[in-house]
């Protein structure tokens, strides 16, 4: 297969300065197990904003310039030697659409002994860390092509799942799927549970959708602005608590107590990442409750009323990123419930690749819930 020698890519050269479009080399040959894809579209994430502002650089070592974008759908252009199937056993062919995970080594203690590949000490990320200085250069979704490493998990996107839905599976929903795995580790979710979801961004909304298909009669979503809470109600929230109307932690805690017969929620999901949200969620949890923490990923340390964990006998599960099985389950969730849940409601705008700075700016100022960058001009 002959592919071009270069392609266009969005490049982050300096934090807080406009992203630029550059011609970037495409590796001439593929190593065994690798896949070259043409990116069809990539969705824009809150993490892309934090990458652009430089906040993420406090958490992971970054080498600029780099190609941003970690939620993308690629069409297979070429295979390295030995690739015939995805990670869940589907045969792969040129032209198939795929999602792929960050690359874990499969050999370190965390991969092999703990069986937690998201904690791999050798993990290679797309769109966050690897620079344009070293091959294979194309390590992010905001580019015409991407080089899928041999150690990445890969899953074929079912034909019934639109690319716009699939790209958001590749970050928010796959993390939510891992969140439910972690919740299963600490006792799971049943129909008698009462749920609080903190946050109405893509993580909180997908959590609401998955909860609504798993039985609890009460699902309370806390967040804003109103358009996001409307999506939460459409996706299964039984009550919403707008932060505009309940601006203080005390008011929100009181409202949750009111909605749960004074008991608090038996399962709380922290999906907002807001500075004081975790401490607030501890107050919202019922005696013997479970708390799943996904949102907090950085920022200054926050005080926590630790005695509440003891006194209430709480069980807490942290969730970091996701493995390829969670991508697979996320795609299956969307495929199965696509006629019942209007997944289009999540995508508020779409932008041409050249308008990437507007896309980042609108995400930065919460004007978009989730937007997509259309990379291929021939994408319908």
Residues whose CB is less than 8 angstroms from the CB of residue 131 and which lie 6 or more positions away in sequence, other chains included: 62, 63, 64, 65, 66
20 binds Zn ion (CB under 5 A): no
Which residue of 10, 11, 47, 278 would you call a contact of Zn ion, by CB under 5 A?
A: 47
Rounded distance between C-alpha atoms, residue 23 and residue 5, angstroms: 10
Complex with Zn ion: residue 125 or 337, whichever CB lies closer = 125
Cα distance between residue 95 and residue 77, in whole Å? 6
Q: Judged by CB, which is closer to Zn ion: 175, or 238?
A: 175
Between 223 and 273, CB nearer to Zn ion: 273
CB atoms within 10 A of CB 328: 24
**Which position has the token pair 């308008």?**
355
Task: Output the smallest distance, CB 184 to Zn ion, in A.
Answer: 23
Select the residue interacting with Zn ion from 42, 120, 211, 363 (CB under 5 A). 120
Judged by CB under 5 A, the number of residues near Zn ion is: 10
Contact characters 351-380, Zn ion, x per CB under 5 A: ------------------------------
Give the residue with the Cβ less far from Zn ion, 129 or 194. Answer: 129
Restricting to residues 51-90, name those near Zn ion by CB under 5 A.
71
Residue count of the chain: 380
205 vs 259, which CB is nearer to Zn ion?
205
Query: In the complex with Zn ion, which residue's Cβ is closer, 120 or 282?
Result: 120
Write down the least CB distance from residue 273 to Zn ion, Å: 12
**Angle made by CA atoms 270, 274, 279, in degrees to the nearest 5:** 60
Taking the least distance from each CB to Zn ion, the nearer of 205 and 219 is: 205
Minimum distance from residue 370 beta carbon to Zn ion (Å): 9
Q: Which stretch binds Zn ion (CB under 5 A): 46-54, 87-95, 141-149, 154-162?
A: 46-54
Q: In whole angstroms, how close is the CB of 171 to Zn ion at the nearest point?
A: 3
In the complex, minimum distance from the CB of residue 109 to Zn ion, in angstroms, rounded to a whole number? 8
Work out how close the CB of 117 gets to Zn ion at its nearest, in angstroms, rounded to a whole number. 6
3-state secondary structure the chain: CCCCCEEEEEEECCCCCCCEEEEEECCCCCCCCCEEEEEEEEEECHHHHHHHHCHHHHCCCCCCCECCCCCEEEEEEEECCCCCECCCCCECCCCCEEEEEEECCCCCHHHHCCCCHHHCCCCECCCCCCCCCCCCCCCCCCECEEEECCCEEEEECCCCCCHHHHHHHHHHHHHHHHHHHHHHHCCCCCCCCEEEEECCCHHHHHHHHHHHCCCCCEEEEEECCHHHHHHHHHCCCCEEEECCCCCCHHHHHHHHHHHCCCCCEEEEEECCCCCCHHHHHHHHEEEEEEEEECCCCCCCCCCCCHHHHHHCCCEEEECCCCCHHHHHHHHHHHHHHCCCCCHHHHCCEEEEHHHHHHHHHHHHCCCCCCEEEECCCCCC
171 binds Zn ion (CB under 5 A): yes
Per CB under 5 A, which region of 72-80, 171-179, 181-189, 221-229 contacts Zn ion? 171-179
Over the window 87 to 116, marking each residue x when it contacts Zn ion by CB under 5 A and - when it does not, the resulting string is: -----------------xx--x--x-----
Rounded to a whole number of angstroms, the minimum distance from the CB of residue 353 to Zn ion is 18
What's the closest the beta carbon of residue 251 comes to Zn ion, in angstroms?
Answer: 30
Torsions phi, psi for 149 (to 5 deg): -70, 150
Smallest distance, Zn ion to C-beta of residue 7, A? 22
Task: Pick from 24, 45, 132, 285 the residue near Zn ion by CB under 5 A.
Answer: 45
Binding to Zn ion by residue 324, rule CB under 5 A?
no
Q: Nearest distance from residue 68's CB to Zn ion, in Å?
A: 10
Q: Which residues bind Zn ion (CB under 5 A)?
A: 45, 47, 71, 104-105, 108, 111, 120, 122, 171
């Amino acid at each position: 297969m002959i592919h071009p020698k270069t392609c266009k890519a969005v490049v982050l050269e300096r934090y807080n300065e406009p992203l630029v479009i550059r011609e970037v080399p495409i590796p001439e040959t593929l190593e065994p197990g690798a896949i070259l894809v043409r990116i069809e579209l990539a969705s824009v994430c809150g993490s892309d904003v934090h990458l652009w502002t430089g906040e993420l650089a406090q958490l992971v070592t970054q080498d600029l310039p780099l190609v941003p974008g970690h939620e993308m759908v690629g069409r297979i252009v070429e295979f390295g030697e030995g690739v015939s199937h995805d990670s869940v056993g589907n045969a792969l062919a040129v032209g198939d659409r795929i999602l792929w995970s960050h690359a874990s080594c499969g050999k370190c203690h965390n991969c092999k002994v703990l069986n937690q590949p998201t904690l791999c000490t050798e993990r290679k990320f797309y769109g966050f860390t690897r620079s344009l200085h070293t091959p294979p250069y194309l390590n992010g979704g905001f580019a015409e092509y991407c080089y899928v490493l041999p150690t990445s998990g890969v899953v074929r996107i079912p034909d019934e799942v639109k690319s716009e839905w699939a790209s958001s599976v590749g970050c928010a929903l796959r993390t939510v799927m891992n969140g439910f795995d972690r919740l299963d580790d600490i006792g799971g979710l049943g129909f008698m549970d009462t749920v609080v979801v903190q946050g109405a961004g893509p993580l909180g909304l997908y959590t609401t959708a998955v909860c609504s298909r798993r039985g609890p009669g009460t699902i309370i979503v806390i967040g804003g602005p109103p358009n996001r809470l409307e999506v939460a109600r459409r996706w299964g929230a039984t009550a919403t608590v707008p932060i505009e109307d309940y601006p203080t932690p005390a008011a929100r805690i009181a409202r949750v107590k009111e909605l749960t017969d004074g008991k608090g929620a038996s399962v709380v999901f922290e999906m907002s990442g807001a500075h004081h949200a975790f401490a607030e969620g501890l107050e919202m949890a019922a005696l013997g409750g479970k708390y799943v923490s996904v949102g907090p990923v950085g920022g200054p340390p926050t005080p926590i009323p630790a005695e509440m964990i003891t006194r209430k006998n709480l069980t807490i599960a942290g969730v970091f990123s996701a493995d390829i099985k969670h991508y697979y389950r996320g795609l299956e969730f969307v495929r199965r419930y696509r006629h019942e849940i209007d997944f289009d409601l999540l995508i508020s705008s779409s932008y041409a690749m050249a308008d990437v700075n507007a896309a980042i700016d609108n995400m930065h100022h919460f004007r978009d819930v989730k937007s997509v960058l259309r990379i291929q001009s021939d994408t319908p």
